[in-house]
Amino acid sequence: MDHRNFVKFTFIKVDPAWRRRDSAERARDKIEFAAACQAFSEDHFLRTYSLVGTRGDCDLMVRTLAPSLDPIHEFHVLLNQTGLMRWADTPYSYLAMTKESVYSDEPQPLEPRPGSDAKYLIVYPMWKKREWYLLAPEERMRIMRGHIEIGRKYTNIDINTAYSYGLDDQEFVVSFNADEPGEFLDLVQELRGTESSSYTESETPIFTCISASVERALGALDGEALAVPSP
């Protein structure tokens, strides 16, 4: 259990009525939200992403990581106190944990890869069919080798697999760091023809997230840049 981390993906949808509020009120709401993110990021991993233009049912994603659930819980309590969250819903929320892969012979990071600052993060929850777990371990290993070999062809894409067994509804949360969405499209299309794909129960919804600073992600909500006051 040493060095594992909890990973939380929080997808936020802002009520359209919020955009009709006074500009100063919206700025204050965004400043409160940014302050909560800043406080958490001082000691833990936090990244924000804009989904404006890529999804219709969410506008913003906050990705957090910590060695225990306590700081993640406390962060979301603080986040819920901000003015912005009084005008927002959380249509999707995924909790998972990092752990070593049993299939890959490469070192598996238990924290975000260096590529976590790529331009895009593509995220989806995933379930395997129960038949997958009835296969002998060596048979699962054989099938996964073919899957992994295809992934290695796409050297500009890094995969981050987190595990949710018993922690949340899904079994995995899979996220990919990519600078070119077209390469990811080609990767997924090729993987559809693999034997491992036949054992996939579900891997939707899929979120194409645009990496952005907290200020830029918040600014995309209403088209107004956020000027964070100096401390």
Average pLDDT, the chain: 92
Q: What percent of the chain has pLDDT over 90?
A: 85
Confidence band of 102 (pLDDT split at 50, 70, 90): confident
Question: pTM for the complete prediction?
Answer: 0.92
| R_g of the chain computed on alpha carbons | 19
In this prediction, residue 103 carries a pLDDT of 73
Q: What pLDDT is stored for residue 105 in this prediction?
A: 58
pLDDT at 231: 43
Which pLDDT score, from 0 to 100, does residue 226 have? 81
The pLDDT assigned to 130 comes to 97
Q: What is the pLDDT of residue 100?
A: 84
Confidence of residue 113 (pLDDT cuts 50, 70, 90): low
Residue pLDDT, tens place only, 200-223: 999 999 999 999 999 999 999 999
pLDDT of residue 3: 79
The one-character DSSP state at 218 is H
* 133 has a pLDDT exceeding 50: yes
- Residue 179: HSE in the Cβ half-sphere, 13 Å Cα cutoff: 6
| Residue pLDDT, tens place only, 45-58 | 999 999 999 999 99
As a whole number of angstroms, the distance between CA 104 and CA 62 comes to 28
CA angle 210-212-213, nearest 5°? 165
Per residue in 55-82, pLDDT tens?
999 999 999 999 999 999 999 999 999 9
